[in-house]
Structure 1
Amino acid sequence: MIFLDNFMALFLESAPWLLLGLVMAGLLKVFVPMSWMNQQLGGHGLKSTVKAALFGAPLPLCSCGVIPAAIGLRRAGASKAATTSFLVSTPETGVDSISVSYVLLGPFMAIVRPIAAMSSAILAGLLVGKEEKQVVSGSENTSIEGCCSQSVAPVTSGSSCCSSRTSKPSEGVLKKTQAGLVYAATEMLDDTAVWLVTGLVFAALIQTYVPDGFLASWGNGLLAMLVMMMISVPMYICATASTPVAAGLLLAGVAPGAVLVFMLAGPATNIATLGVVAKELGKRALVGYLGGVLGGALIFGYLVDIAVMHFNIAIVPQIGPEHELTPVWLTVSTGALLGLLMVISITKKITVRMMKAPKCCS
C-alpha cells in the first residue's frame, strides 16, 4: 500500500513536467527547421556540445520532461553529443532549481550547482561524441529517423527530406501546432511510456524500502559520494525536488560534496533516462553518458569539499514550509491525462505484439 502511495505521488508530481516536455518535443518537430537544427547542434565537436548545454540549462524541465524533449532534438537533427549534453544539463539545473537552491542551500551552492551541471553535461557530450565520430562513416549522420533513407523526390536547397515532410509553407500555425501535439501524444509517447513507468516503479521502491537516515549515515569523503551515487542512479527525482532533500542531508551532517553528487546524479541518471539513452543513442553512448555524469559529479563533489575546507565557506541550509510546485488541480488533471495516454500507448503496443506473435495452431 505504501509503495502504491509513493508511486502515485511520484507520478502526479512528474505529470505536469512530462506533458510539458512532450509538448515541447512535438512543437520542436513541426516548427524548428531541420537545416537550422543541423547547423546549430548537428556537429560532433565542442561548439555544438556547449551550445546544447547552455540551451538546456535554464529550461524548467526535470528528469521526466527532458526525455521527450531530448528525443525531439535528436530526431530534429541534433548529434548524439549535443543530445547527450542537453539531456544532462536540463534536468540537473534550471532557473527554478537555482532559485530554490539559493533559498535553501545558500549562494555558494546556488552558483556551484549550474556550473557543475553544465560542465558534466559537456563532458558527457564529448565522451559520446568521441564514440560517434568513430562510428559515423558518412551514412549514420543522415539516418536519425530513417526518413531520409526512403525514396523521396529531390528537395530544394536549404531543406532536407525530413524537413520537407514535416513542414509545409502552406500550413498555418494552428495546423502545425495540432500536428505537433498529435505527434507528442502518439509516436513520442509510444517511445518513452514503458521506460517512464519503469523509472517511477524503481523510484517508488527506493522511497518505500530505503530507510530515511540511510544516506545521512555515511557522512563525508569519497565513500559517501559513491554511496550517494549508487542510490541516486535508480532514483526518479527532479532538480527542484532534490533541493529540499539535499538541505536535509546537509543538516544531517553529510558533506557538501556528497550532497552535490546527489543533486547532479539523481536527476540525470534515473532508470527511465538510461533506458531511453540506450535505445535512442546506443549502448556505447550510454557508457559515455554515465562516464560524463558520474565522473563530473565526483570531480565537482571533491572540488567543493576542498573549497569549503580551504576557504572556510559556511553552508547553512534553511528548510522552510514545503510548497507545492504546481497547483493541485493542475497536478491531478495532467496526471489523469497522462495516465490515459500511457494506457492507450501501452495497450496499443501489447495489441500489436499479440497480433504479430506466431500462432502455434492453425
Structure 2
Amino acid sequence: MLDLTNLNQNALYSSIQFFVIVFSELLLLFVLISMLVSWLQHKIPKARVKALLSGKSGYMLAAGLGAITPFCSCSTLPMMVGLLRANAAFGPVMTFLFTSPLLNPYLIAMLWVIFGLKLLLIYSVAVLGVAISSGLVLQALNFQRFVTLPAAANSCCGSSSADPATQARKSVSLKALFQQAIKETRSFLPHIALGVAVGAVIHGYVPASLLAGLSSTNPWWLIPAAALSGILLYVRASTMLPLAATLVAKGASLGSVMALTIGGAGASLPEMIILKRLFQWPLMIAFVVVVLGTAIITGFSIQLLLGQALV
C-alpha cells in the first residue's frame, strides 16, 4: 500500500530544499549582476549605451548580448533594469530579455551534444527570429509605457556634480557597488520570494510522471499544450535538456519537448511573478504571448523539418 505520509514528507523536504537553494542562488545572482550593471553604468556613458542599443543594429547586438550571458529568465531582470535606466532602446532590451534564458553558451553546447547540429540550428534561428521580430513590434507599439522601473538606489558615485576624479575613485569601490546592489535587490525581494515559493511547491508536489506523459501519438495540439504547460512549471532549459533526451528516448516528440522547454525557461510562473514588479498587465500579456509563440513556432519547425509527422 502506498505510504502517503512518506510521500508528503519527501515532497515537503524537496520543496524546502528547492526554495533554499534557488532563493539563495537568485539572491546571489541579483546582487552580483546588479553590481556588474552599476559598474558598467559608471564606466560607460548612458549616451554610448543608447547609441549601441538603438536602431536596427541594436537588435542584433541585444540578441548577441543575450546569447553570451548565462542567465536564467529571473536573473536577466537586473541587467534589463540597468539597460533601461541607461536609456537603451526598449525594443532591443526586450529582445535581450527574450533571448538570454533561451540562448546561452551552456544551452547551445548541451543542445549540440544531446540533439545534434541540425536541431540546434533550427532552434537558434527560430528563437532569434521571434525575439528580434517581437522587439521590433513592441517598440513600434510603444509598449515601453507599460514599464514601471523601481526607484533608483542612490548612486555610489554621489551627486553628478562631484569631482570627476572622486567619481572615478568611488566607482571602483566594491563596498559602494555592493551597497547599491543590495538596495536594488531589496526592491525585488518579496517578488523573488513569492516566485521561488511557487516554484518550490511545483517542484515538490507536481510528479515528474506528468512530464513523461507526453504522448508518442503526436497529435497536432500537443506542441501548443506543451508550451502552455511549461509556463506552469519552473524548469530551466539547462535542467530540462537532459530530461528532454530521456523523454524523447521514451517516445515523446522532439517538437513537444522543445516547446515545453522554451515555455518553462522563457516564461515560468515564478518569473512572471517577479516580472510583475516591472511590467503592467498589457506588457505582461504581450510577454507571455511572445514566449508561447516562440515555443510553438520552434516546436513545429523542429517537428516538420526533422520529419516527425503530426496527426
Q: The TM-score by the shorter chain falls in which range?
A: 0.7 to 0.9
Q: Answer whether contact 1:23 1:180 (CA < 8 A) is retained.
A: yes
- 1:310–1:237 distance in 2 versus 1, CA, 3 Å: closer
Q: Answer whether contact 1:30 1:176 (CA < 8 A) is retained.
A: yes
Note the C-alpha offset of 1:146.
8.1
Per the alignment, in what secondary structure is the counterpart of residue 69 of structure 2? coil
Note the C-alpha offset of 1:97.
1.4
2:259 equivalent among 249, 253, 261: 261
Q: Which amino acid aligns with 2:46?
A: M
- 1:240–1:135 distance in 2 versus 1, CA, 3 Å: closer
Q: Which amino acid aligns with 1:26?
A: S
- 1:12–1:134 distance in 2 versus 1, CA, 3 Å: closer
Q: Which amino acid aligns with 2:181?
A: A
Partner of 2:191: 195
Work out whether 1:7 is the aligned partner of 2:19: yes
2:73 equivalent among 48, 53, 63: 63
Per the alignment, in what secondary structure is the counterpart of residue 234 of structure 2? coil
Note the C-alpha offset of 1:17.
4.0
Distance across 1 between alignment mates of 2:252 and 2:272: 27
Q: Answer whether contact 1:22 1:69 (CA < 8 A) is retained.
A: yes
Distance across 2 between alignment mates of 1:254 and 1:118: 25
Distance across 2 between alignment mates of 1:99 and 1:64: 21
Note the C-alpha offset of 1:34.
0.7
Work out whether 1:182 is the aligned partner of 2:182: no
Distance across 1 between alignment mates of 2:262 and 2:162: 37
Distance across 1 between alignment mates of 2:162 and 2:140: 32
Note the C-alpha offset of 1:226.
2.7
Count of residues paired in the alignment: 289
- 1:251–1:73 distance in 2 versus 1, CA, 3 Å: same
Question: Any idea what the Cα deviations from partners look like across 1:205-230, whole Å, max 9, x if unmatched?
Answer: 22222221212323234432233223
1:129 equivalent among 129, 139, 151: 139
Per the alignment, in what secondary structure is the counterpart of residue 170 of structure 1? helix
Per the alignment, in what secondary structure is the counterpart of residue 73 of structure 2? coil
Question: Any idea what the Cα deviations from partners look like across 1:162-201, whole Å, max 9, x if unmatched?
Answer: x983996324656213343322121x20232222222211
Question: Any idea what the Cα deviations from partners look like across 1:129-153, whole Å, max 9, x if unmatched?
Answer: 13217969xxx9xx97888xxxxxx
Partner of 1:237: 235
2:244 equivalent among 243, 246, 256: 246
Q: CA RMSD in A?
A: 3.2
TM-score (norm 2): 0.80
Structure 2: gaps (5+ residues): 1-11, 153-157
Distance across 2 between alignment mates of 1:64 and 1:133: 20
Note the C-alpha offset of 1:122.
1.5
TM-score (norm 1): 0.69
Work out whether 1:206 is the aligned partner of 2:202: yes
Distance across 2 between alignment mates of 1:54 and 1:254: 31
Per the alignment, in what secondary structure is the counterpart of residue 280 of structure 1? coil
Per the alignment, in what secondary structure is the counterpart of residue 92 of structure 1? coil
Distance across 2 between alignment mates of 1:12 and 1:190: 14
